[in-house]
Amino acid sequence: MSRAIDEHRRYLRDRARVDAFERAIREVVQSGDVVVDLASGTGILGLLACRAGARRVYAIESTPIARLASEIAAANGWSDRITVVRGIAAQVTIPEPADVIVSDQIGWFGVEAGVRALIADTRSRFLRPGGRLIPAAIDLVLAPLEVPTLFGRVTFWSGSPAGFDFAPARRIAGHTGYPARLRPEQLLGPPHHAHTIDLASARLDLIRVNARLTCARAGVLHGVGGWFGAQLSPSVRMTNSPVAPDRIARRQVYFPIPDPVPVRPGDSIDVSMRLMPEEGIITWDVTVPGTVSDAARTFHQSTLQGMLMDPADLRRTDPEYRPALTPRGAARLSVLTLCDGRRRLHDIEAGVYDRHRDLFASAAEAAEFVAEVVTRYSTDG
C-alpha cells in the first residue's frame, strides 16, 4: 500500500507553507524565466512558477510520483511549459541554464532533508550567473526545553518492558534527535538564532553552531529544541517555529540530554553543535550551570552514537577489506550484464532464472527480482 499520495495531500493542505512559497515565487520569478523545481513531488512549486510567468519549468523528481506530476501539469494546461525529469537531481541534466532554483528539502531543523547538498550541486550545474534561489538562506534556531513526556522516550529503556532488561538501548535513545510537535509552554526561554546557512555560497563542510540560551523561568531542562526559519525571498520568510503564529505544519526536533537538570530564571545554557547533515551526523554538547553544591555539567551527545551499527558492517568499510558478492549480488550482476540493449526483458528473466535456480523458487520469483533491478538501473537508450 502506497501512502505517498496522502503525504502530498498533507503538504498541499498546509496553507501557511503553500502561501509562503506562492508569495516568494511571485516575488522572485520573472516573466520568461526558466525555473528548476527540485524534488518536485506533485509539482506544486512548478505550477506556482508558471502562474508567476515562468517560460519553462524543469520539475526533477526521482520517485514514481513524477508521472502524476506530468498528468497534473497537463490537467492545468501547462504541459507545454512544465517538463518533468524523472531521476536523482545529481544524476540528471537540463538543456538550458536556469534563472531560478526552488526546493523545499528543508526538513525539521533546516538541514537534515538534504537542501544544502542539493542546492550546492544544482547551483553549480544548472543556475546561470546572477540566478536566484528559493530559499536563499536558512536560519537554525535553538531553545531550552522542559518536555517530560518527550524525555520519557529516553527513560523508557531504563524500565523493564515485558519484564525484561532493555537498559542497553538507553544509550542509543539518548543520542537520538526526535521529530516532535513542540508547544510554546514547553520552552524554558526565548528562541535563539544560532546560525545562518547562505545557500548561494554554502559548501559541504562542517557546520559549527555555538549558542548561549537563557532561561526565562524555573523548570527542569530535558534538552534543546531546534527548528528553522527559511528566507524564501527578500520579503517572505517561512518557519516551523512553535512560537510563530504563521508557522507551517511541520514538526521540530528535540535533542535530549541524558539527565534532567533543574534550572532557574536567568540561568545560561551553552550549546555547541557540529553538523554533518549529508552523513546524518549531529553532535550537541550542552553545558548547564552549577549551584552552590553542584558543579556545572556538560553532556556530550551525538547521533553517531545513536546509530544501530554492527561491527560486521564497520569491517566492510575498512580499506583492506576484500568484498565478495553474495548470491543475490551475483544475480543482480547477471541482470546488469544481460541488460545490453539487445535482449528482451523476457530473455533476461529466463537467463537469470537459468543461472541462479538455487536462489529462486520459480521463474515468477526471478522475474520479480529482475523487475526490481531493471526499474532502478535501465534506460530506454
Give the Cα separation of 330 and 325 in Å (integer): 6
Distance CA 204, CA 194 (A): 18
Q: Are 295 and 344 in the same domain?
A: no
User: In this structure, is residue 361 part of a structural domain?
Assistant: yes
φ/ψ (deg, to 5) at 108: -95, -40
**Is 115 inside a domain boundary?**
no
Per-residue pLDDT of the chain in tens (381 residues, 90 and over written 9): 467 889 889 999 999 999 999 999 999 999 999 999 999 999 999 999 999 999 999 999 999 999 999 999 999 999 999 999 999 999 999 999 999 999 999 999 999 888 999 999 999 999 999 999 999 999 999 999 999 999 999 999 999 999 999 999 999 999 999 999 999 999 999 999 999 999 999 889 999 999 999 999 999 999 999 999 999 999 999 999 999 999 999 999 999 999 999 999 999 999 999 999 988 899 999 999 876 557 789 999 999 888 887 777 778 778 888 899 999 999 999 999 999 999 999 999 999 999 999 999 999 999 999 999 998 888 775
Do 143 and 235 share a structural domain? Answer: yes
**Which CATH number belongs to the domain containing residue 216 in this structure?**
2.70.160.11
Would you state the pLDDT for residue 1? 47
> Looking at the structure, do residues 204 and 305 belong to the same domain, yes or no?
yes
Other CB atoms within 10 Å distance of the CB of residue 81: 17
- Of the residues 57, 85, 104, which one is the last residue of a structural domain? 104
CATH number at residue 60: 3.40.50.150
Domain span at 185? 138-312
Of 81, 104, 127, the domain-final residue: 104
**Is residue 247 one of the residues assigned to a domain?**
yes
Residues 96 and 161 in one domain: no
**HEC states along the chain?**
CCCHHHHHHHHHHCHHHHHHHHHHHHHHCCCCCEEEEECCCCCHHHHHHHHCCCCEEEEEECCCHHHHHHHHHHHCCCCCCEEEEECCHHHCCCCCCEEEEEECCCCCCCCCCCHHHHHHHHHHHCEEEEEEEECCEEEEEEEEECCHHHHHHHHHHHCCHHHCCCCHHHHHHHCCCEEECCCHHHECCCCEEEEEEECCCCCCCCEEEEEEEECCCCEEEEEEEEEEEEEEECCEEEECCCCCCCCCCCCEEEEEEEEEEEECCCCEEEEEEEEEHHHCEEEEEEEECCCCCCCCEEEEEECCCCCCCCHHHHHCCCCCCCCCCCHHHHHHHHHHHHCCCCCCHHHHHHHHHHHCCCCCCCHHHHHHHHHHHHHHHCCCC
Distance of CA 85 to the CA centre of its chain: 21
If asked whether residues 230 and 263 sit together in one domain, one would say: yes
- Spatial separation of the C-alpha atoms in residues 42 and 111, rounded to whole Å: 22
Q: How many domains does the chain have?
A: 3
**pTM of the predicted model over 0.85:** yes
Verify that 361 and 279 share a domain, yes or no: no
User: Would 56 be classed as within a structural domain?
Assistant: yes
